[in-house]
Structure 1
Amino acid sequence: MIHIQAIKAFQDNYIWLLSESGSQQCLVVDPGEADVVEKAMKSLNLALSGVLITHHHWDHTNGIQALTKDRNIPVYGPDNAEISGITYPLNGTETLTVLGTEFNILKTPGHTLDHIAYFANPDQDDPILFCGDTLFSAGCGRLFEGTAEQMLSSLNKLRSLPKNTRVYCAHEYTLANLAFARAVEPANPSIKEYRNKVIQLREQGRPSLPSSLELEFTINPFLRIDQHSVITAVKEHAPCTVLSNDAEVFGALRHWKDQF
């Protein structure tokens, strides 16, 4: 059985630590900072056996060199020469077995062009997704390199996963994203209910993550662009914008969030 724990890094990053029952081996996802990983592993008596990277941004990769300096371990990540330390480059079509669990690698460009995600269904009833900065709870990543069409395609790929998939994003952006979601759909009761729950979690110092795809389908405007309420809100916010297809609705919604 895979156990997943959040390691806080920087202001709002999460580095996800994966371990397996009955083993001292562990993996980390997107270690932007090495010291916090070392402290967490020491406290849990775990040994690092590999690293998973979703994209090239520094706050996801800066810990690679320090973590691998004295360890002969694999580092999996996008096939991108900008990322120093990748030993197994991935292009988004592979399957990968680590900690006895098979992960499907999904190509998810939009936030960056090299972005990938890791999906597994280890127990056939409890699927997990490490999506980096592509999908956030109640939001999605900024379009730093990709287009609205690319990001929408990537999100649709994630939407096709089982609805009970647990979503492990790389940042604690949930409350800020819910503020925007409420502006888009003020009459959506699920957003209000979830916001109250997240406020309680954060007041207790607990992460709002993981989320689930089932939940995101009810509160995340970027997964709800086919809903009349979202389309109407985007049209009212940008009445001069042409919205003839889903990509144009998505692009206008993302631009609105960028200015929010």
Structure 2
Amino acid sequence: MKVEILPALTDNYMYLLIDQDTREAAIVDPVQPQKLLEIIKKEDVVLRAILTTHHHWDHARGNEELAQLLPGLQVFGADERIGALTHRVSHGQELAFGTIRVRCLFTPCHTSGHMCYFMWEDDSPDAPALFSGDTLFVGGCGQFFEGTAEQMHTNLTQILGTLPKDTKVFCGHECTVRNLKFALKVEPENEVVKEKLAWAKQRDDEDLPTVPSTLQEEFLYNPFLRLTEEAVQRFTGRTDPVEVLRALRSHRDNFKKPKERPNPQAMLAFDWGLFGPFLEKK
């Protein structure tokens, strides 16, 4: 499977998934359709499906235009507010891209209809991939716009946090530097946070993406996955994991705003074996 990381807008990411044998493709969150169409033409692929994480305009805005331009395009998502939706998916539902399997993981909180997509290939040594939208970020988590701390705690600990530790995390935004600056405030003695922040700053200076991370790495520096750590509890003044999470999100919401920076122009590709034609599993 070939995954192309496509920067969009100010700090969004679209992800183009390509079957290198059939030259068929799917896209996660195509907010800038014209940019996507240029890449599709350059790569000489046929777009078959859209996987939408949630209805916010900076993730789903391109759905209607693409559906009009490409008749027969399948649009998957979990929220009726998603434009051009053709297939409403539910938690645990599995889809297939040829030999690539997709499991839909319902993670309501950022929006009430947020869906993540976990992908793997049977009998492959390659690591699986998680397209986490605005639920899990590198070093952070999404804001609780339409949900609660209890929901996000379930999302992070029981749904995403239990995935294989080598899972590659492809999130919806490039906000790693500011997430890790906050993580360092929470755990000023955490050497892994310091190292990751230095790395992320260098990537940022070079306009290069910081995705993907891995779930294993996230448990070392992401405070929202470290709710039982003494330093995190001390920072929040709480011990109950849900209350620690609630306090962390409140502190993060009030954390200083970063200076605007140019959109990264890099586009990276990761080859993970074959990525077959997109078919809904019956």
| TM-score w.r.t. length of structure 1 | 0.93
Residue of structure 2 equivalent to 1:109: 108
Code of the aligned partner of 2:253: D
Code of the aligned partner of 1:138: G
Q: How does 1:1-260 map to 2 (within 5 A)?
A: 2-71=1-70, 72-78=72-78, 80-122=79-121, 123=124, 125-156=126-157, 157-235=159-237, 243=238, 245-260=240-255
Query: Is residue 92–residue 105 contact of structure 1 (8 Å, CA) maintained in 2?
Result: yes
Q: What are the superposed Cα offsets for residues 149-174 of structure 1, whole Å, 9 maximum, x if unpaired?
A: 00110011111001000000010000
Higher RCO (CA-CA < 8 Å; seq separation 6+): 2
SS in 2 for 1:69: helix
Query: Is residue 8–residue 36 contact of structure 1 (8 Å, CA) maintained in 2?
Result: no
Q: What are the superposed Cα offsets for residues 118-174 of structure 1, whole Å, 9 maximum, x if unpaired?
A: 112212541100010000000000000000000110011111001000000010000
Q: Which moved more, 1:192-201 or 1:210-219?
A: 192-201
2 CA distance for matches of 1:125 and 1:25?
20
Residues paired across the two proteins, number: 251
Query: Is residue 172–residue 208 contact of structure 1 (8 Å, CA) maintained in 2?
Result: yes
2 CA distance for matches of 1:231 and 1:176?
21
Code of the aligned partner of 2:132: C
2 CA distance for matches of 1:124 and 1:75?
29
Code of the aligned partner of 2:218: E
2 CA distance for matches of 1:42 and 1:210?
25
Percent of aligned positions with the same letter in both sequences? 38
SS in 2 for 1:92: coil
Query: Is residue 27–residue 51 contact of structure 1 (8 Å, CA) maintained in 2?
Result: yes
CA RMSD of aligned residues (A): 1.2
2 CA distance for matches of 1:40 and 1:14?
14
Residue of structure 1 equivalent to 2:258: none
Query: Is residue 61–residue 83 contact of structure 2 (8 Å, CA) maintained in 1?
Result: no
Query: Is residue 31–residue 62 contact of structure 1 (8 Å, CA) maintained in 2?
Result: yes
2 CA distance for matches of 1:125 and 1:31?
25
Query: CA 1:181–1:244 in structure 2 vs 1: closer, same or farther (change >3 Å)?
Result: closer
Unpaired segments ≥5 residues, structure 1: 236-242
Code of the aligned partner of 1:180: F
1 CA distance for matches of 2:129 and 2:99?
14
Unpaired segments ≥5 residues, structure 2: 256-282
1 CA distance for matches of 2:92 and 2:15?
22
Q: Which moved more, 1:132-141 or 1:17-26?
A: 17-26
1 CA distance for matches of 2:102 and 2:3?
15
Structure 1 position 99, deviation (Å): 4.6
Query: Is residue 8–residue 14 contact of structure 1 (8 Å, CA) maintained in 2?
Result: yes
